[in-house]
Structure 1
Amino acid sequence: MEKIIQAQLRDIEEKNNVKILYAIESGSRGWGFESKDSDFDVRFIYVHPVEWYLSVFEGPDIIEIPVDEVLDVNGWDLRKALKLMYRSNASLLEWLSSPITYRQNQELVKELRQVAEKYFSPISVTYHYINIAKKSFEGLEGLNNVNIKKLFYVIRPILSCMWIENFNTIPPMNLQAMMKEVKMDDKVKTIIEELVTIKADRIESDTIKQPTELMEFLRDKLEYYYSYAKNIKTEKERDSSILNEFFHKTIKEYSGDIE
């Protein structure tokens, strides 16, 4: 798959006349709980030639490739990515800590992560994860058997909220990375670890008997973090100059590589 993905990235660059700066794996493989039939969710950030940014009207800032059973590939133009970073977009922040990278300039990505930390909003990101967890949890309540994949759509957001409370930094994308650092009940931790192992040997649609103790833990945490989020101090409006500086420097440095 690595060769297929790299070929796809090169094809995207050629057909769209762009340069991909950063490409990673998102979805269950990046999150650390893939199934046997999980697809590959490739996400990337790219730049156009300088002239593209000087147009009177902005062009499309997303590249999407038709999804098939194996590959789900799409990316954002750097300017769009930085606009989302200004709003502390949780999905973009996740990309920056993916354990699986397909394309990156280490120095550039290091600087991008440093910029992201400056615009990280605990309120915004906590509410993002609470809403994902709540919606997924409501779909599982009352069921004797639950879909394993949907269960993780509650587990990971809750752990992300726990990370923010403990460290006040951007949560890692990977579930295992969070579990190593976040303090939690040993029994619950063991249940989650067992679920990761079970899911790795199953297909995406498989179900298991509802794990009562884990569901109680998730319910309590969901209620707690709704209250917690309301008490996070409101942040001041951020200065966008750091983003502008990074954008100008990156465009000058990398747009010239595009033929």
Structure 2
Amino acid sequence: MHQKLLTQIAQIQPYPLVFLTISGAHLYGFPSPDSDYDLRGIHILPAREIVGLYPVQETIEKSESKEGVLIDLVTHELKKFLTLLLKRNGYVLEQLYSPLIVYTTPEHQELKAIACKCITRNHYYHYLGFAQTQWRLFTKTNVYQVKPLLYVYRVLLTGIYLMNTGKIEADLIKLNQEFQLPYLNDLIAQKLAKSETSLLQKIDLEFYTQEYQKLQNELKKAFENSFLPNEPSAKGELNNLLLKLRLY
């Protein structure tokens, strides 16, 4: 990992950061040699910009090549990120809890402790919808790429694991230690060895379709049996954290 370069990128951001982590293929356990680094985090706007008349940068997005490394950076303003946490948004949970940390603060750790109260049964809909989108991408042409297929299985297993345990795990290699699906090891090996757009070496569409449908059913069953609450209970604590960081 290009830790020095990524740390330098964190240091030159225009606003203070709460955290910056790595998401995408590196987090999911199957980066290709040409995969970009998906950096995700929270920035804090000063109060004078928030209360002024001019538009504020709720989201900063920047894609560039640095020292031959492709960087895709997205940070949300603190209030927007906390608002997303209170919705059934799995993306922000995975970014917050990513173990691939570029920059962190004590408030990052505080937020992680609070955000576990934002995990609900209704995150089922996020992971189901994400998987369906990736399946459409995989099947829309006769050219079958490894990447969207891995994304399909990754999000379904993350969703099942979340419904069963209440914990975020986005690394497909670690997830498969739990689920023991033998075909995933071959797919991951293909993705690790080749490009982002590499094609399946062996195409067994009927088999992959059956696995997709089976895991969808397992996700639905996990949702129906989940012990997780229906609604988040952290709004008050998130509000207090927002006020603390904004005003003091």
Aligning the two structures, in what range does the TM-score lie when normalised by the shorter sequence?
Answer: 0.7 to 0.9
Q: Does 1:221 align with 2:201?
A: no
Alignment CA distance shift 1:6-1:224 (3 Å): closer
Distance 2:231 2:4 in 1: 45
Q: Does 1:210 align with 2:203?
A: yes
137-146 or 66-75: bigger deviation: 137-146
Question: What is residue 196 of structure 1 aligned with on the other side?
Answer: 188
Structure 1 gaps, min length 5: 254-259
Task: Within 5 Å, give how 1:162-181 maps onto structure 2.
Answer: 162-167=160-165, 169-180=166-177
Question: What is residue 117 of structure 2 aligned with on the other side?
Answer: 118
Q: Does 1:37 align with 2:34?
A: yes
85-94 or 129-138: bigger deviation: 129-138
Alignment CA distance shift 1:142-1:77 (3 Å): closer
193-202 or 130-139: bigger deviation: 130-139
Does structure 1 retain, via aligned residues, the 8 Å contact 2:42–2:81? yes
Deviations 1:94-120 (A, max 9, x none): 012212111002x32222112111121
Question: What is residue 24 of structure 1 aligned with on the other side?
Answer: 21
Determine what percentage of the aligned residue pairs are the same residue: 21
Q: TM-score, normalised by structure 2?
A: 0.84
Q: TM-score, normalised by structure 1?
A: 0.81
Alignment CA distance shift 1:135-1:54 (3 Å): closer
Distance 1:136 1:89 in 2: 17
Shift of 1:227: 6.4
Deviations 1:158-181 (A, max 9, x none): 1012102321x142222233333x
Question: What is residue 12 of structure 1 aligned with on the other side?
Answer: 13
Q: 1:135 aligns with which of 108, 133, 136?
A: 133
Q: 1:244 aligns with which of 235, 239, 242?
A: 239
Give the RMSD, CA atoms, in angstroms.
2.7
Deviations 1:10-30 (A, max 9, x none): 2223xxxx1112001111011
Does structure 2 retain, via aligned residues, the 8 Å contact 1:149–1:204? yes
Does structure 2 retain, via aligned residues, the 8 Å contact 1:97–1:173? no
Distance 2:47 2:28 in 1: 34
Distance 1:31 1:130 in 2: 17
Structure 2 gaps, min length 5: none
Alignment CA distance shift 1:229-1:28 (3 Å): same
Distance 1:56 1:91 in 2: 30
Task: Within 5 Å, give how 1:72-111 maps onto structure 2.
Answer: 72-105=72-105, 107-111=106-110
Q: 2:145 aligns with which of 144, 147, 151?
A: 147
Distance 1:112 1:234 in 2: 19
Question: What is residue 60 of structure 2 aligned with on the other side?
Answer: 63
Alignment CA distance shift 1:221-1:57 (3 Å): same
Letter in 1 for 2:113: Q
Distance 1:252 1:179 in 2: 44
Shift of 1:234: 7.5
Does structure 2 retain, via aligned residues, the 8 Å contact 1:93–1:170? no
Alignment CA distance shift 1:165-1:157 (3 Å): same
SS at match of 1:117: helix
Letter in 2 for 1:112: L
Letter in 1 for 2:158: S
